[in-house]
Structure 1
């Protein structure tokens, strides 16, 4: 895990140049009056908590000599310091995926990614003695991270605790579009599970129940095929439940997943 510090001219060599021989340092030249700077700041601070680098923030108005020495003309201006050398980075605001690409090129790996991999490994064992401590560790280290909150919701949904799963879903930042889509998909699974309790014993009910159970177990290929069969036989079945269930699975998989692409096309053909 890295760190985020505020640096002035007197501290620059000790706080930035010297540590850069051990790990990369990103210098964020900013101004308090700069709107884009305020957008970039939380992104960089968040990534500094995940990756092993130091984020050094330099206020150009309080340190004009530093800004002049490094030719800073517009802010935000982020420089990369490695082995005592200050190199060009980028000017302006980059979206988070591009920032992560930049860090990857510097040879940095997210500690969050490592922790998520450890959690997934524990989840694969289905051993509560390993899963719960791994989840607790994630929630402690990254209390507001959408990916972690989704993992927690998924775990409790698998365990049948829909109420606790819903609580974690409510904590997800609504501005995080990808996480919100996934959260909507998980809410759809909760609704789906509840609807299965009201089914009868007709052929369509049996088919829908089998597809629903497959979806709850994460067997999405089987689930989509089963829901599609119901749509093809009766579009209006239980207020369009099969089509809605397929849309739920699409959200869980993501729009680029091969299953989503294939079954979205087949669903359109069945409907029209």
Structure 2
């Protein structure tokens, strides 16, 4: 038993589970004294609740003594575990899971640990200061502390892209990111910009000789983006729209929209907003 694990009845269920779940995921274990698998699962859950130190709370419900609660949650066999977060049922399983599977389940629903959250904050500060290698080391440490945290993994991928380590970023992005799908898609779009990067110098020379070569200007925009020169990339694509909005069936506008997708939801938000306004002004 620990401060993170407690018995619950119908009388205190609202306060101990529903109200508590507004802040922290609550794992509700429906068990009974005569149930053999319950005697395996319950102490394991208690041990992990103490180990996770408040990243989730464990509420234990004796289903024999609280049949109304069991019926309300549709419990048909025990042990049954339900997860309540922010007042809603968000996950569940039935039966006694092995410790490895149980840890994977808890990692999926538990809040980040204080140490892990602190490492992410340190990494963000290092990125802002331009210390990308040091930031990546912090994120690797955070990922080792909680390998299931997709936000930390995507932070690391973002830093890898900034470092130009596209192959490593691509390998990590090949996995599934169901909990962070939108951000993963943004990073995949940025990875697509980085792959097959052309040298901007020959394109700049070609464009200097032929300023109305819109195809060359768009190639240069993509080369700039691949080299993390995002402002120059956006300016080059916008210039195509300014000079000929109908070129390539609106290729300049589409290139800008692709850049907006790749740069969304992060440190480039101000830049994206600026060029969205410029694009709108150019088209109107």
TM-score by length of 1: 0.55
In the TM superposition, 1:135-214 aligns within 5 A as: 135-173=139-177, 176-191=180-195, 193-194=197-198, 196=200, 199=203, 201-202=206-207, 203=211, 204=214, 205=216, 209=220, 212-213=223-224
In the TM superposition, 1:53-202 aligns within 5 A as: 53-56=55-58, 58=60, 63-65=62-64, 67=66, 73-74=72-73, 76=82, 78=84, 90-93=87-90, 111-127=115-131, 130-173=134-177, 176-191=180-195, 193-194=197-198, 196=200, 199=203, 201-202=206-207
Structure-2 residue corresponding to 1:233? 243
- Residue 28 of structure 1 and its aligned partner are, at CA, apart by 3.0
Mapped partners of 2:202, 2:52: distance in 1:
45
**Structure 2 counterpart SS, 1:217:** coil
Q: Indicate whether 1:217 and 2:228 are aligned.
A: yes
**Structure 1 counterpart SS, 2:206:** coil
Would the aligned equivalents of 1:231 and 1:243 in 2 still touch at CA under 8 Å?
yes
Mapped partners of 1:208, 1:139: distance in 2:
37
**Structure 2 counterpart SS, 1:122:** helix
In the TM superposition, 1:21-36 aligns within 5 A as: 27-29=26-28
Would the aligned equivalents of 1:193 and 1:212 in 2 still touch at CA under 8 Å?
yes
- Residue 131 of structure 1 and its aligned partner are, at CA, apart by 3.3
In angstroms, what is the RMSD of aligned CA positions?
Answer: 4.9
The size of the alignment, in residue pairs, is 217
Find the structure with the greater CA-based Rg: 2
Structure 2: gaps of 5 or more residues: 9-15, 17-22, 32-49, 75-81, 92-109
Structure 1: gaps of 5 or more residues: 10-16, 18-23, 33-47, 80-88, 95-102
